[in-house]
Chain A
Amino acid sequence: MNLFANWLAAPVVLPLLFAAISLLAATRVNLRQIRFQRTMALVASVLNFAVALLLLRTTAIEGQRIVLYAGAWQAPFGITLVADALSAIMLTLTGLLMLAIVVYSIGTLDERQGMNFFPLLLFLLMGVNGAFLAGDLFNLYVFFEVLLMASFVLLSLGGRPNQVNGGLRYVVLNLIASTVFLTTAGVMYGTLGTLNLAHLAERMALAPESLRIVLAGMLLVAYGSKAGLFPLFFWLPASYHTPHPAVTAIFGGLLTKVGIYALFRIFPLLFPDLLAHWQPFILAVAALTMLTGVFGAMAVKTIRRVLSFHVISQVGYMAMGLGLAASGNQLAIGFGMAAGIFYIVHHMIVKTALLLAGGAAELTMGTGKLEAGHLGGLVKRWPYLAVIFFVAAFSLAGIPPSSGFVSKLGLLQAAMDSGQWMIAGVSLVVSLLTLMSMVRLWQRGFAGPVEATTMPWRKPQRWLTAAPITVLVLVSLAVGIFSAPVFGWAQVAAEQVLDRAGYIQAVAPTDVIAPLGAEH
């Protein structure tokens, strides 16, 4: 047995272990306890990032799949963890973002640091990592719930009125989506007799088409509402602006992308024929998601609400990548998927950087309202923050040489190659509207004279706040300038995701139950 596969357990076990240890210190709220929890979170996220890089090297660069059979149980019977290039890319991004968020929250978080914020962050990390590694449908559900549970508490931590209101919406809609997901898992087990993804992929051809359509539709609803796709996104703008900026940033960067990851993983593997049949539908949903997101962003009036709506519009681009994965043109298949994955890479980094910078602006000015007399003039008050916000905003809008430009170019080319002119046009229009929205943010929030007369917040420790944003912006620029190797990894990931036979072969599920006591 390959001992290297045991590293797969680390992204799940490490955060859990460190969270449990730091909860031991939670008996009293004092400075020593908070410092202990901070150190624990910092150590855990550094270790997690290191393990993720290790996995990235093995999968994305060497092109392998790593499979861990927990407890050495054969594939369909035990818990299986699988990492391929897509999982490793997501794990690495998660590790990077978590590191940035921990540093940022040490710099900016208020009394909520004393409410077990850092252990909750680690539980969130565990859930997200687990969802990226899960090799069967039920564990995917469990890890979804772990991350949702942590996110519920993080969202309402502090219990202010608007947090409670936003939190209730978030909990109800996500619980319904999860229950739909669980129903699908139950029906799948009842009809196909397995939950292991590779085993399901083998057996899915046995199911009648009507059943496959029902299952795929229910999964699309469940994951789509987690990802914030068009008709199901209402929980997101209702809640994302309410918690502390650090929490908003990690949610905006990570959570919807877990839903997108699940779509990218499940649909090519289990329903490749439906992915092709439903291409017009998926592309229509993607286009509507982009448009509603960007129009919503133009209508709202605070900096974090604008950025939350942009999360939705950007999710549309990723769904566009999924839709293009099922192109009739053989050349464009892998390319559309790869462009979608590259877009996820770009988006997670830039969106988190933007939300962090927007949060820092709010903290500095004491308000985030984009109206006269509130936010404004940050160029003069904190020029450095204004500069990095500017770079991140223009990367989001897709101005060369940023990563946003390269990723949008990739999607556009994939759309052109497969002859999808409509979606290409919509994505261009939305890109332009995003640019307009970013310019509006810049004009209202950063340019102009200093208008706010009061500043109730003492300036946060500036380097702790600015350093993680700077790192993320620099990584984003590097992804844009040295896009060839990163796009190469995305292509490896796309090929692995679309290669069903390879996945089944790597996991190697068996139908034979070894008789009890056979090995003696």
Chain B
Amino acid sequence: MIALVFAGLVAVLMASATYLLLQRNPVRMVIGLGLFTHAVNLLIFGTGVSERGLPPIIVDKAAFTGDISQFVDPLPQALILTAIVISFGIVAFMIALLHRRNSLEAIDESCTDRSDDPFAMEPAHTLEHVDEDYEWLEDVVLLNELNPPKRSRR
């Protein structure tokens, strides 16, 4: 019974995540990714749960006979803990990137058309426009300070 509940929940979360991931709005995409990772965490959690309310420890060690239905497997819970931290970090990083993108967009007035591509600023078809590949070559601040040419040192 409990497995059925878990399966249903995972299915609902996965479906919503897929729907959101297919949206054009990047914020929805981030939410979709969050739901996606949650669905997977729940799936892993479900593998260790056989009955409601059981603890993942052996309560009475002396009376323990080796019957594993008396407790819940703690390993999936440990796995989820790791997975939650990782997905949290990545989603946080994505939000930071989106914020950066929005602030850049606010500076750059020329961004208008991004109908085709949720992440495109300007230009939308990045394969065609190669100018912005080399913007970084235009402002070099630290390198010459870090690696002074030998002649100027003398």
Partners in one complex: yes
Question: When the two chains form the complex, which single residue of B75, B100, B138 contacts A159, counting CB atoms closer than 8 Å?
Answer: B100
Instruction: Verify B94–A460 contact, CB threshold 8 A.
Output: no
Interfacial chain A residues near B141, Cβ < 8 Å: 110-111
A165-B119, A171-B93, A183-B40 known; A300-B140 Cβ under 8 A: no
A138-B79, A241-B133 known; A179-B98 Cβ under 8 A: no
Instruction: Verify A238–B126 contact, CB threshold 8 A.
Output: yes
Instruction: Verify A367–B101 contact, CB threshold 8 A.
Output: no
Instruction: Verify B140–A164 contact, CB threshold 8 A.
Output: no
Report B's interface with A, CB cutoff 8 A: 21, 26, 29, 33, 36-37, 40, 43-44, 46-47, 61, 75-76, 79, 82-83, 86-87, 89-90, 93-94, 97-98, 100-101, 104, 108, 119-121, 126-127, 130, 132-138, 140-147, 149
Mark each residue of chain A from 302 to 319: 1 if its CB lies under 8 Å from any CB of chain B, else 0.
101100000000000000
Interfacial chain B residues near A106, Cβ < 8 Å: 147
Please, which residue of chain B has its CB at the minimum distance from the CB of A111? B142
Instruction: Verify B47–A171 contact, CB threshold 8 A.
Output: no
* Segment at the interface with B among A64-72, A149-157, A266-274, A492-500: A149-157
A113-B142, A366-B137 known; A172-B101 Cβ under 8 A: no
Complex Cα gap A278–B89 (Å): 36
Instruction: Verify B43–A183 contact, CB threshold 8 A.
Output: yes
Min distance, Cβ A33 to any Cβ of chain B, angstroms: 12
Complex Cα gap A456–B104 (Å): 24
Please, which residue of chain B has its CB at the minimum distance from the CB of A139? B82
Q: Does A186 have its Cβ within 8 Å of any Cβ on chain B? A: yes
Instruction: Verify A189–B79 contact, CB threshold 8 A.
Output: yes
Interfacial chain A residues near B36, Cβ < 8 Å: 176, 179
- Which are the 6 A-B pairs with shortest beta-carbon distances? A190-B47, A186-B44, A111-B142, A168-B119, A111-B141, A145-B86
Min distance, Cβ B104 to any Cβ of chain A, angstroms: 5
A31-B145, A164-B97, A460-B147 known; A367-B134 Cβ under 8 A: yes
Complex Cα gap A189–B74 (Å): 12
Interfacial chain B residues near A34, Cβ < 8 Å: 146
The listed residue with most A CB atoms (<10 A of its CB), out of B37, B133, B142, is B133
Min distance, Cβ A108 to any Cβ of chain B, angstroms: 7
Which secondary structure dominates where chain A touches chain B? helix
Complex Cα gap A110–B43 (Å): 45
Complex Cα gap A185–B40 (Å): 10
Complex Cα gap A182–B144 (Å): 45
- The A88-135 residues at the B interface (CB cut-off 8 A) are 106-111, 113-114
Complex Cα gap A176–B82 (Å): 17
Please, which residue of chain B has its CB at the minimum distance from the CB of A155? B97
A363-B137, A516-B61 known; A369-B76 Cβ under 8 A: no
Complex Cα gap A176–B97 (Å): 17
Instruction: Verify B40–A186 contact, CB threshold 8 A.
Output: yes
Instruction: Verify A457–B93 contact, CB threshold 8 A.
Output: no
Q: Does A11 have its Cβ within 8 Å of any Cβ on chain B? A: no
Interfacial chain A residues near B83, Cβ < 8 Å: 141, 182
Known: A165-B119, A176-B21, A185-B44; 4 extra A-B contacts, CB below 8 A, are A31-B145, A111-B141, A152-B93, A458-B144
A-B contact pairs, 25 of them (CB 8 A): A31-B145, A110-B136, A110-B140, A111-B141, A113-B143, A159-B100, A161-B108, A161-B132, A165-B120, A168-B94, A175-B37, A176-B21, A176-B36, A179-B37, A179-B87, A182-B44, A182-B83, A186-B43, A238-B126, A244-B136, A302-B130, A362-B137, A368-B134, A457-B137, A457-B140
